[in-house]
Amino acid sequence: MVSGLIKALAIEFFLTQLVFAGTTGILEGTVKDKSTSEPVVGANVLVLGTLHGASSGENGYFQITNLRAGVYDVRFSAIGYQPTIYRKVTIVPDLRTKLSVELAPAAVELKEVEVIAERPLIQKDVTATMYTVTDIKIDKLPVNSFQDIVALQAGVTREGNIRGGRSTEVMYLVDGFPIQDVIGGGAGSELPKSSIVEMTIQTGGFDAEYGNALSGVVNAVTKTGDNSHRLLLRADNDWIGSKNQTSKLTEIELSAGGPVLRDKMFYFFSSDILLSDTRWWQDFQYYFSSPVLRDINGFGKVDFHLSPEARLAAQVLYSVRKWRDYEFSWRFNLDGLPSRRRDSYRAAVLWSHTLSPSTFYTASFSQYHLRSEIGEGDKSSIDTTPYEYDFFLKYVVQGRRAWRITSRQNIYTLKADITSQISPLHMFKAGFEFNQYDIFGDILKVEPQKTFFGKPSPDAPPLSYSSLYQYYPRTGNVYIQSKIQSEEDGALLNLGVRYDFLAPRASRPAIELVPKTQNEFQQQVTGFVPAKFKSRFSPRFGVSYPLNKKAFLFFNFGFYFQYPLFDYLYGGLNPVLISKTVPALVGNPDLEPETTRMWEFSAKYIFPYDVVGTITYFSKQTENLIDTKTFIPSKTRLAGDYGFAEYVNSPSANAHGIEVVITKDRGELVTGTLSYTYMEAKGLADVVSQGMTYFQWGFPVPAIEYPLSWDQRHAIKAVVALELPWDIVANLVWQFHTARPYTFYPSKDGFTADDTTKAFFPNNARMDDNSTLDVKVAKEIALGGQNSHRLYLYVDARNLLNRKNVKWVDSNGRIGGELRDPSAYYDSRRTRLGVRVEF
């Protein structure tokens, strides 16, 4: 039945040449006579700067589908009426923007009337928590990247954990395509800020078209060229301030867009270069030339409008990053730490076709390549001799870290989507996606054992995490989404279902431990067990219900799945390596997808002065999280053999909380958002290696849930924009987080607990509260009296009050541990001076 459904949908989509999601929205509304309120039939609607347009029907209703996300001017005209232009109409991906237009009767042709369009204070067709950030706001905020913008939202921690989930549970998209590191987790690429026209950040439930995520979806929609040539130049640096308040950072950004063939073909390009010696430059300067970090990111596209209904586009995204690690215990031997490099690019071809005024489809094919390297030279040249500490086992004084890692991933993606506005009250969307992966890992990684307290164990043999693998897994999905609105009360029902599959295309070696002596064992591969094909259905359900014109209720419920990172599936599976060495950690290609069941309920109300208040309660239950289990018949600290640890599905996690958000997006002097979040995040494992590390330390694996490391109970965030005299705009971001937990289990010597009779329980204490104030002040200057040419001078100050915010403490409760490591604090004050020129 399932295979038949997939086949039928695939045939249907290919016959209609279908594809991709998350970048277009719908503009609709009614045109009426201003004096009589009667519908105006046959009014012309034109989205300026594009080929999109429509005419109003018998009831004055118009609709324009397949309109790319962004901000537009829309012109309305009809015989016998004064033309009207609505300025700054915002189109949001996957949503409908509604306009109520009134045309004034005119016997003769008069000058056009301009109206500033205002976004609705409450987006009624969004049934779960979603935030939209436009390029105008991105330019003004004191942020470095699109990931920084995510951290400003309610329910998101400073490290990017959304509503109590792990940071790897977030899906990052650019124009609807993932830029995910499927081996190591997180975003695999960066994006120049000037290339973003709009971002949507979904921290609650998300529609069926989005998958492979448990906590949130972030989609950045890129800019597109039009009939006007535009050029942007930006440069800034943080070289002012004291020695401790600079990273010797310089950033340069360039973007350009415009027509290749007027009304037919357009281009857009953006690139930025970031050079830095990092906050540790005072130590780095004795070992490496400047700059220590080099980061180059770029994006380019070409759009070709074959007709008003058909568009062909090609785009390229690239990101190159080179840097050096810093660890305070290595500060006298920094060249012993391996260098790092990460290169990524994505090439995509997209086809979009409007079949009728109410139906369109999109189709695309893309390749995403990501290569990561740690260390240099041939793997055989790496010395695995343990590095040496000083007499007090505090600093590394000689030797090199035995790491030489190369990982490569090529992802080939075919996507298809079709969207149809079946009626003004019913929108239907369906699509599919198929991914073919080429996953390669060549890993030499030998690490000395350490105690729980961080001290090296000189007498214990090192552990090998070496691996060599190459596999070709496949994933895919099919989804159906329907939004139905009630004509009577305006209530909206959002229904969807998604089917995902994973074909690991690998076998798991069956390993047995054969005793050699009383305390020594040898591993033998006795066979191979093929990994099973994995598939899941995930239903999604949402409702929005208006109580009146100012009050709305929203409810959302859904199941969400995420495939394990491929390193958890394939690392250490090479039977040759297993037979020759004792790998500390072995992958498991039969891991099940991680599962989250999530629901939320929210109420929104429009207060006077266009202030919107929102209160949301959410709850998440997550199962099948990845952990490690050690397979050995004797204790690690006593036996001569260490067995092996394998990735398994076992830990669970639960999170719930309340978010209160007050927003004022309209106004001339003060706009912004104030949010408060109360959240609890508990589980059985902080990290995937927890079971293995606890076994090494001789501690029992926790049997009951405990506060996770990102369990920040209270958080307050204020993002405020102030319009000051002389065209000066100030944007302030204040964040306050209550203390995160840590494990208090003191030791005087770093080898044995002070009280060995005391039960070990993780995260039983709390660090200090965190608070930061970031400010960006910009002055706009018109060049040559033309509004199209602008100069911006700005000052961007991070952690303006220079507060020492604690990042970590050791098990004794000491900030920075025995060495008083300054990395235990977040960055001190940084002040960047910059200039931006727009033509």
% residues pLDDT > 70 (the chain): 91
pLDDT at residue 735, rounded to an integer: 96
The three-state DSSP-derived secondary structure of 503-561 is ECCCEEEEEEEEEEECCEEEEEEEEEEECCCEEEEEEEEEEEEECCCCEEEEEEEEEEE
For residues 55 and 88, state if they share a domain: yes
Cα separation of 764 and 741, whole Å? 7
Decide if 261 is inside a domain.
Answer: no
Q: What is the pLDDT of residues 141-175, one digit of tens each?
A: 999 988 899 999 999 998 889 999 998 999 999 98
pLDDT at residue 337, rounded to an integer: 95
For residues 210 and 105, state if they share a domain: no
Cα separation of 292 and 4, whole Å? 55
For residues 479 and 456, state if they share a domain: yes
pLDDT at residue 708, rounded to an integer: 93
pLDDT at residue 7, rounded to an integer: 40
For residues 381 and 519, state if they share a domain: yes
Cis bond upstream, residue 291 (ω within 30): yes
**DSSP state, 5?**
H
Decide if 329 is inside a domain.
Answer: yes
Average pLDDT over residues 192-198: 91
For residues 178 and 109, state if they share a domain: no
pLDDT at residue 691, rounded to an integer: 82
What domain range is 31 assigned to? 2-116
Report helix, strand or coil for 652.
coil
Cα separation of 461 and 366, whole Å? 46
Asked if the model's pLDDT at residue 334 lies above 90, the reply is yes
Total number of domains constituting the chain: 2
Report helix, strand or coil for 432.
strand
CATH classification at residue 703: 2.40.170
Q: What is the pLDDT of residues 360-401, one digit of tens each?
A: 899 999 999 999 999 988 888 888 888 888 888 889 999 999
Decide if 187 is inside a domain.
Answer: yes
Place of tokens 């006795």: 526
Asked if the model's pLDDT at residue 612 lies above 60, the reply is yes
Average pLDDT over residues 529-538: 91
Average pLDDT over residues 112-128: 79
Decide if 279 is inside a domain.
Answer: no
Decide if 678 is inside a domain.
Answer: yes
Decide if 452 is inside a domain.
Answer: yes
Region at 379 (left for phi over 0; alpha for psi -120 to 50; beta for the rest): alpha
| Average pLDDT taken over every residue of the chain | 87
pLDDT at residue 793, rounded to an integer: 94
Cα–chain center distance at 245: 28
Decide if 537 is inside a domain.
Answer: no
In the structure, what pLDDT confidence band is assigned to residue 827 with cuts at 50, 70 and 90?
very high
CB 733 within 8 Å of CB 142: yes
Asked if the model's pLDDT at residue 528 lies above 80, the reply is no
pLDDT at residue 79, rounded to an integer: 84
pLDDT at residue 136, rounded to an integer: 86
Q: What is the pLDDT of residues 255-270, one digit of tens each?
A: 999 999 988 899 999 9
Which of 206, 203, 212 has the alpha carbon at shortest distance from 179? Answer: 212
Q: Point out which residues pair with 352 in neighbouring strands.
A: 311, 362
Asked if the model's pLDDT at residue 423 lies above 60, the reply is yes
Cα separation of 138 and 158, whole Å? 18
Average pLDDT over residues 49-56: 83
Domain boundary among 93, 116, 139: 116
Average pLDDT over residues 609-634: 85
Average pLDDT over residues 766-776: 95
In the structure, what pLDDT confidence band is assigned to residue 573 with cuts at 50, 70 and 90?
confident
pLDDT at residue 65, rounded to an integer: 83
Q: Which residues of 561-573 are buried (b: 16+ CB within 10 A; e: fewer)?
A: bbbbbbbbbbbbb
Domain boundary among 116, 140, 164: 116
Domain boundary among 766, 782, 802: 766
For residues 39 and 171, state if they share a domain: no
Q: Quickly list DSSP for 113-141.
A: EEEE----SS-TT--S-EEEEEHHHHHHS
% residues pLDDT > 90 (the chain): 53
pLDDT at residue 711, rounded to an integer: 93
For residues 137 and 209, state if they share a domain: yes
Give 540's contacts (C-beta < 8 A, 6+ positions apart).
205, 206, 207, 208, 481, 494, 495, 496, 497, 498, 556, 557, 558, 559
For residues 355 and 412, state if they share a domain: yes
CATH classification at residue 67: 2.60.40.1120
For residues 45 and 189, state if they share a domain: no
Q: Which residues of 628-649 are buried (b: 16+ CB within 10 A; e: fewer)?
A: bbbeeebebeebebbbbbbbbb
Q: Point out which residues pair with 523 in neighbouring strands.
A: 513
Cα separation of 71 and 88, whole Å? 5
For residues 505 and 612, state if they share a domain: yes
Place of tokens 């055989």: 380
pLDDT winner (highest mean) among 106-110, 181-185, 244-248, 675-679: 675-679
**DSSP state, 22?**
S
For residues 564 and 484, state if they share a domain: yes
Query: H or E element: which one contains 467?
Result: strand 467-471
Decide if 778 is inside a domain.
Answer: no
CB 169 within 8 Å of CB 214: yes
pLDDT at residue 824, rounded to an integer: 94
For residues 82 and 158, state if they share a domain: no
